[in-house]
Amino acid sequence: MKRFSKEIKIGATFIVSIALLYVGINFMKGSNVFSRYNTYYTVLENSGGVAASSIITTNGYQVGTVNRVEYDYNAPSRIVVTLRVKESLRIPKGSRALIVNSLLGGVSVDLKLTNHTEYYADGDTLTSGMANGLMGEVENVMLPQVNALVPKIDSLITALTTLVSNPALANSLSNVESISQKLDHTADELDRLFHNELPQLMTGLQGSANNIHKITTDLSGIDYAQTVARVDSTITNLQTLSAALTSNESSIGRLLNDTAFYNNLNGICTNANALIEDVKANPSRYINISVFGKK
């Protein structure tokens, strides 16, 4: 009895190990043996890399796995894919099973569900198709744009090569270097100006400002009323003198304005000139020189 009990224990242990191994293998495949699944089929012309244990998703959530991928030798254009989907997911009619190629090379099946009120039954066949996915977008959208961009890049590279090989570019760079050196020299001159000459200039301006301040201070101390009164008095005296010179009532005015006096004075000058000329012409008539006692 003890021997029989030991064999039973060994057999039970073996069966449990097999069961655990089966559960583990299915778990690694992404399948839970304790969950209930419905089986659906879809037919492809090209498997697109889908294989057994590929995941099945809808809206990004895993709802099952691919059970088998079989080639129909009787119809070479048919590849039958068996889908194991959780029983709790009811698939509306018109839904599609799309093969999706991921960027990293993995392949999955994406169920695109419709809003139909009738549902597929266990064992029905779903319509299949190929989803664009990220790789499809790259192939269908980006690659044509890249192909259209390549000639432009080639033209740009050719233009850049032509520009670089043009001697004018070297001359332009030389000119730029010369301009840069001149700018450096100008910067040095400005630096010298700001550090040496500008302080001296500011000192001179400060001295001028001080002088101007002193002048304005001195001007502010002048009695302008008294100065103006003096100038007014001087002008009045000049006016009085001018009136006296032009009036016939004063002696100076009579002397300056008397025509007879002017004529007499002019005659006297004329006679004096004539007398001087006659003296020069006949000095003996006016001057007697005595030599040896004689006249």
- Segment 211-221 mean pLDDT: 79
Q: Which of 1-15, 47-61, 239-253 has the highest mean pLDDT?
A: 47-61
Burial 53-70 (b: 16+ CB within 10 A, else e): ebbbebeeeebbbbbebe
Q: One-letter amino acid identity for 29?
A: K
CA–CA distances in Å: residue 64 to residues 15, 69, 115: 27, 15, 20
| Dist CA 245 CA 254 (whole Å) | 8
Residue 204 above 60 pLDDT?
yes
Beta bridge partners of 86: 37
- Residue 48 CB neighbours (<10 A): 16
Q: Is the dihedral of CA 85, 87, 89, 94 positive or negative?
A: positive
Q: pTM for the full model? A: 0.40
| Dist CA 61 CA 26 (whole Å) | 19
Residue 101 above 50 pLDDT?
yes
| Dist CA 79 CA 46 (whole Å) | 7
CA–CA distances in Å: residue 202 to residues 110, 198, 209: 83, 6, 10
- Segment 79-89 mean pLDDT: 90
Q: 218 Cβ partners below 8 Å, 6+ apart? A: none
pLDDT tens digit sequence for 171-189? 777 788 888 888 888 888 8
Percent of the chain with pLDDT over 90: 8
Predicted local confidence at residue 120, as pLDDT: 92
Q: One-letter amino acid identity for 272?
A: A
State residue 90 phi and psi, 5-degree precision.
Answer: -95, 125
Predicted local confidence at residue 295, as pLDDT: 47
Predicted local confidence at residue 1, as pLDDT: 43
On average, the pLDDT of the chain sits at: 78
Confidence of residue 41 (pLDDT cuts 50, 70, 90): very high
- Residue 97 CB neighbours (<10 A): 27
- Segment 125-153 mean pLDDT: 72
**What would the DSSP string read from start to end of 197-240?**
IHHHHHHHHHHHHHHHHHHHHHHHTS-HHHHHHHHHHHHHHHHH
- Segment 278-294 mean pLDDT: 67
| Dist CA 246 CA 256 (whole Å) | 8
Question: What SS3 state is found at 280?
Answer: helix
Predicted local confidence at residue 103, as pLDDT: 63
Confidence of residue 258 (pLDDT cuts 50, 70, 90): low
- Segment 8-28 mean pLDDT: 71
